[in-house]
Chain A
Amino acid sequence: MEVQIKRGLLDVCVLAAIKYKDSYGYQIIKDMKPYMQISESTLYPILRRLEEGKMLTVYSVEHNGRLRKYYRITEKGQKRLSDFTAEWKEIMSVYSFIMRESDADE
């Protein structure tokens, strides 16, 4: 996949992983796995970027005698997701147009 597209998609995928429920790093990676392979070290700068962009907030929860960081999506993050889906609808309609053309050729 093209690097630029993948970068944008990763941001949105991480937001989608915490869309309904707050989550932590390892869980986010596991949730994304069926759709997109991502390593811990790749996730790190993405989480930072999203936090700096105020798309998510971080808080710590005690778990088995240690701290675990949970990520919660903000309103801005939710907006980013809905913007993305709106954009994607447009792209999908173009996609179906492209595919229809190629069907007609055959």
Chain B
Amino acid sequence: MNKQEFLTEIGRRLEGFPPEEIERSKEYFLEMIEDRMEDGMSEEEAVADIGTVDEAVADILKDIPLTKVIKAKMKPEGKLRAWEIICLILGSPIWVPLLITAIVLIFVWYIVIWVIVISFFVVDLALFASGLAAIVVGVISLAQLEPAAPVLVIGTGLCLIGISILLFIPLLKLAKVTGKLGKKTALWIKSWFVRRKKNA
């Protein structure tokens, strides 16, 4: 691949983004390739050394928010023709609900993965709170009752607190994994929008 092909491909993948954004990344990679060639590499070697177009595009996208990516990719190319507008309007009972469904699905996905984590944390907190309560009740009733029952209650409370503390560590891990999953989903949706262009 020569540098022109490399840059054209980057431009093509980023189609729909603000032109200055595309120009900027093209300039950057062009400068990198030319600096390498000055260093004694051939054009092909220099391009190969930069890495693949996929990597370059993924890194360019990394710092652009998801909403901006979708907006850029949703923009129609050129002006809409009359029949396209008519189709859009006539088809709106179909595509509007579909679009809303897609957005809701993404939203629900994020809620679902986080609700699981949050409910675990709530259970953990409940264990801790009930353990604490058991100890308090046990200590108070120690003064009024025979020691056997209050000691049992205090012991139970200690057990509950112990369990909740032990559970807390894997729960933190779970939250971390969930966070990563959320990020991966965002990247997946981004790449879906970019790939769609490539196949078109």
A35 interface contact, C-beta 8 A: no
A39 interface contact, C-beta 8 A: yes
Q: Would you call the interface of chain B mostly helix, strand, loop, or mixed? A: helix
Residue from B27, B34, B39, B51 within 8 A of A40 (CB atoms): B51
Are A25 and B32 also in contact (CB < 8 A) when A40-B51, A41-B56, A44-B25 are?
yes
Are A41 and B63 in contact (CB-based, < 8 A)?
no
B20 interface contact, C-beta 8 A: no
- Distance A56 CA – B71 CA, assembled complex (angstroms): 29
- Distance A86 CA – B59 CA, assembled complex (angstroms): 31
Smallest Cβ-Cβ distance to B61: which chain A residue: A45
Chain B residues closer than 8 Å to A69, beta-carbon distance: 27-28, 31
Q: Which chain B residues (29-44) contact chain A, with CB distance < 8 Å?
A: 29, 31-32, 34-36, 38-39
B62 interface contact, C-beta 8 A: yes
Are A40 and B50 in contact (CB-based, < 8 A)?
yes
- Distance A44 CA – B58 CA, assembled complex (angstroms): 11
How extensive is the interface on chain A, given as a class? 10 to 19
A48 interface contact, C-beta 8 A: yes
Are A39 and B34 also in contact (CB < 8 A) when A69-B27, A69-B28 are?
no
Q: Which chain A residues (6-54) contact chain B, with CB distance < 8 Å?
A: 24-27, 39-42, 44-45, 48-49
- Distance A40 CA – B31 CA, assembled complex (angstroms): 10
A66 interface contact, C-beta 8 A: yes
| Chain B residues close to A by CB (< 8 Å) | 25, 27-29, 31-32, 34-36, 38-39, 50-51, 55-56, 58-60, 62-63
